[in-house]
Structure formats: C-alpha cells, structure tokens
Amino acid sequence: MTRAAYFDCFSGASGDMILASLVDAGAELDRICDSLNSLALGDFELCTTQVKRGLLQARQIQVAISSTDQPQRNLADILKLLDEGKLEDSVKSLASKIFHRLAQAEAAAHGSDLQKVHFHEVGAVDSIVDIVGSCIALNLLGVEKVYCSQIATGSGTVHCAHGDLPVPAPATAQLLLGIPTRVGYPDHELTTPTGAAILTALAEHFGPAPDMSAEKLGYGAGQADLPDHPNVLRVTIGCLQSAPGDTTTQTDQVWLVQTNLDDARPELIGPLYDLLLEGGALDVYVTPAQMKKNRPGIVLGVLVQPDKLAEIEDLLFEYTPTFGLRRHLCYRSKLARKTVQVQTRYGTLRVKVGFRAAKELTVAPEFEDCQAAATRHGVSGREVYNEALVCYRQMAKPHKEVQEK
C-alpha cells in the first residue's frame, strides 16, 4: 500500500505550519533535530508548544536562533548546505526540488537570474529548517505521495524585504499559478512563499482528498491567532486505497477552457486544433450553439493540465477573435491503463487496456497504428482495428485462464 499525506489548507500554509502538522501527526522531533543539526546553520533550537486556534488544539513550532545576523544565501549556498549535511538522499532530493522551485519563483517575480536570487527571509535559518525539517518529517512518516486541497491565500498586504506588498506576495503568487486557490477573508497573509513552495513542489494534485485509509491526523498552528478564523493546517496520514501502477481508478485535475465564437472563419478552426494539441492541450472539441441575435456559432472547449493553462489561453486569444475565456477546474476519474503490443497479420499494433479494481473494462487499439497499417496493406481501418482486438483477446486469454486457476 502507498503511504500518503493530504494537507487541508483551509487556512493556508506556511513552512512552520507544515512542519508542525507533521510532528503533530507523529514525526519524531528529536530525530528531525538530529538531522538538521548536521547542517552548517549555527546554533538554533526547535521549540514546540500546544496552542488553541479557535476551538482547535494544534502544535506550534518556532525556531529559536542565537544570532539575528543572518547571511543572505542564494540557491548554490543552500544546495551546498544540503550536500554537506548528513541527510538521506531522498530528503536531499525533496529539499533540493523545493529550493529550486522557490528560486525560480523569486527570479520570475523580481526579474532576476536564477543563480543570483537571494532568498532574503527564505534564506534565513528558520525557513531552511522549515523546508528541510518538513522533508525529514515526511521521510520519517514513510510518506510516498503528497496531496493537497485548494489553498487559501488570505488578502490585504504583507511587509517583507521588498516593502509592503499585496497578498499573495509576488513569489507566492508565482508559485500558485495554475493551482486552485481561494482569495479573500481574512485580511492576513495565510500562505507564505515557503509553504507554497513545499506544497506545489511535492503535491501530486490539488483538490478533494484521495481515497485513503486515514491513520493519523496532525494540526499545525500558524503564528497569528486570528479572530473568528482558526489559523491551522491539518494533515492526514494514511494509505491510499490504490498503489502506484495498480488497477483502481485514478484521479487528477484539469482545466476546461471555453469560449463562444460566432465570428470565427470555419477554415481557421481546423488548424487551431493542431496548434492547441501541440501546445499541450489534452483534448479539443467544438459544440454547435445558437448565439445572441440568433447567430449560429460554436463553443470551443479545451482540456488542459494546470501547468499548460497560460500557454493555451495565449493561443486562444491569438488565434481566435474572442474577447474572453471561461475556465473551470475539473476533477477527473480515470481508468488505470496500460499499453500492450499485439502481433497481427498487418504488423505490430499498440492496444490500450483500461482497468478498474483489477477488472479489465476497456480495450482500444491505437487508431493511428491501425490507420497506418491499413494504408500500407490497402485495406480498411476497420478491418485492421477488428484484427487487433481479436489478436489481443487471443493473447490475453491464456493469462486470464491462469489467474482463474
């Protein structure tokens, strides 16, 4: 079974909240400190207390530092710290991934070179402890996959090294591109760059919790005690009901981008399909519609992964006459699938096979393979398609008989 962590960010997330929630869920603080002490960070101490945030009891973690004179560190400085520390390879890999993502966000937000970015507050001891400590805690809890809810960002302004800035701060906003967020009440920074970097670097998807058997809960408190709003991050630790590569239903998130067109030349829509698919779209479709003033038109829809959303929207604005786009976050349930190769009289063809709960439900030969073979042999695509199905079933039958015995 795959062990997973699900972070419920109803009040956002910061580095210390993530670390505190994992410690509250059972990660041993002494072992975390032992590993952190191998880093050349100077004298510091992790202090933990139980606090109340509204009606919720949660763990709060603070980093006590003997010296307030902190050096400015860039990405290379921090990666060197990690390399020289006595950390497990998996912890180093996770922490490096987070710091790279954070550096990229800082560089994009401030127009700087990746290697020259100074992390300001994030390069300080407490932020390094939060990031590396969270990676150590996940490793101690045996977590293999991380999932996350929609992230609350708060609102208002925040004071940082660059002065007063709107919430979410520039680096946080950059990190949360394509991620489902909730902006608004309370008037406070709920999600910090450190928290956003950890979650967006590690989470498999953002939205409802996956199907899992919960074993432990942990609550991490933010430093601020907000009126009428429990400033707490909750993590659930447990086992997924499906392991990697097994045959249960899989889930993910995609954006559905739509626009209504009643003034687009039809001959331009066909080439647009290819541009969108080459740009990363998962699917493109057109639905006939009757528009305002009784004009016949179409609804153009595009399914796209979060990391390709901006690119697809750019293409739609550039290659259609639309003045606006709609987008909706969709949660998909997908059959687990595998691709097998079958030998037919028309050559080797690929066949996709879909499963749910170890039961084979769908078999679909790859159309492009069938069409190419049909062209080579001068027969219909349908004949090749049916041949591929027959050959697959003959190939799969002995395996099924063995399983039944």
Q: At 305, which CATH number?
A: 3.30.70.1380
Confidence at residue 243, expressed as pLDDT on a 0 to 100 scale:
45
DSSP-based helix, strand, coil % in the chain, nearest 5: 40, 35, 30
pLDDT tens-place string over residues 106-153: 888 777 777 666 665 445 788 899 999 999 999 999 999 999 999 999
Cα 376 to Cα 387: distance, rounded to the nearest angstrom: 15
**186-190, 354-358, 399-403 — which one is most confidently predicted on average?**
186-190
pLDDT at 20: 97
Residue 135 is part of which domain span? 3-240
Domain end, chosen from 210, 240, 270, is at 240
On whether both 49 and 136 belong to a single domain, the answer is yes
First to last CA, the chain: 25
Higher pLDDT, residue 48 or 355: 48
Q: 10 Å Cβ neighbour count for 335?
A: 17
Which of 307, 334, 361 finishes a domain?
334
Encoding tokens for residue 343? 């030998």
Report yes or no on 208 lying in a domain: yes
Q: Are residues 223 and 296 in the same domain?
A: no
219 is a domain residue: yes
Is 182 inside a domain boundary?
yes
pTM of the model: 0.66
Q: Where does the pLDDT of residue 245 fall: very low under 50, low under 70, confident under 90, or very high at 90 and above?
A: very low
Say whether pLDDT at 246 is over 60. Answer: no
Segment among 40-44, 237-241, 261-265, 317-321 with least mean pLDDT: 40-44
The single-letter code of the amino acid at 50 is Q
Are 63 and 154 part of one and the same domain? Answer: yes
Q: What pLDDT does residue 272 have?
A: 93
Interatomic CA distance for residues 82 and 77, integer angstroms: 9
pLDDT at position 242, please?
53
pLDDT at 402: 43
Residue among 335, 352, 144, 361 nearest 246 (CA): 335
Domain-embedded: residue 11:
yes
| Tokens at 328, concatenated | 């909706």
Give residue 244's pLDDT: 41
310 and 374 share one domain: no
* pLDDT tens figures, 338-390: 899 999 999 999 999 998 877 889 999 999 999 999 999 999 999 999 999 99
Statement: residue 405 has pLDDT above 50: no
Q: Is the domain of 212 the same as that of 263?
A: no
Shared domain for 262 and 380, answered yes or no, is no
Find where tokens 């925040």 sit: 158
Residue 31 covered by a domain = yes
24 and 171 together in one domain: yes
Taking alpha carbons only, the member of 245, 403, 401 closest to residue 338 is 245
**Is 275's pLDDT higher than 80?**
yes
Calculate what percentage of the chain has a pLDDT beyond 70: 91
- Show the tokens assigned to 83: 């390399």
**73 lies in some domain:** yes
Would you state the pLDDT for residue 341?
A: 93
The domain total for the chain is: 3
Average pLDDT over all residues of the chain: 88
Same domain membership, residue 105 and residue 84: yes
pLDDT tens, position by position, 194-231: 999 999 999 988 888 888 889 999 999 999 999 889 99
Indicate whether 189 and 287 sit together in one domain.
no
Higher pLDDT, 57 or 177: 57
- 371 and 304 both lie in a single domain: no
Whether 245 is covered by a domain: the verdict is no
Backbone φ and ψ for 112, nearest 5 degrees, come out as -120, 170
Question: Of 292, 314, 334, which residue constitutes the final position of a domain?
Answer: 334
- Write out the H or E segment, with its range, that includes residue 341: strand 336-344
Please check whether residues 209 and 291 belong to one and the same domain: no
- DSSP state letters, 325-391: -EEEEEEEEE-EEEEEEEEETTEEEEEEEEEETTEEEEEEE-HHHHHHHHHHHTS-HHHHHHHHHHH
Q: Does residue 38 sit within a domain? A: yes
> 168 preceded by cis ω (within 30°)?
yes
Question: Comparing C-alpha atoms, which of 149, 184, 187, 154 is closest to residue 172?
Answer: 154
Model pLDDT for residues 306-324, shown as the tens digit of each residue: 878 889 999 999 999 999 9
The CATH number of the domain holding residue 348 is 3.10.20.300
Q: Are 214 and 79 found together in one domain? A: yes
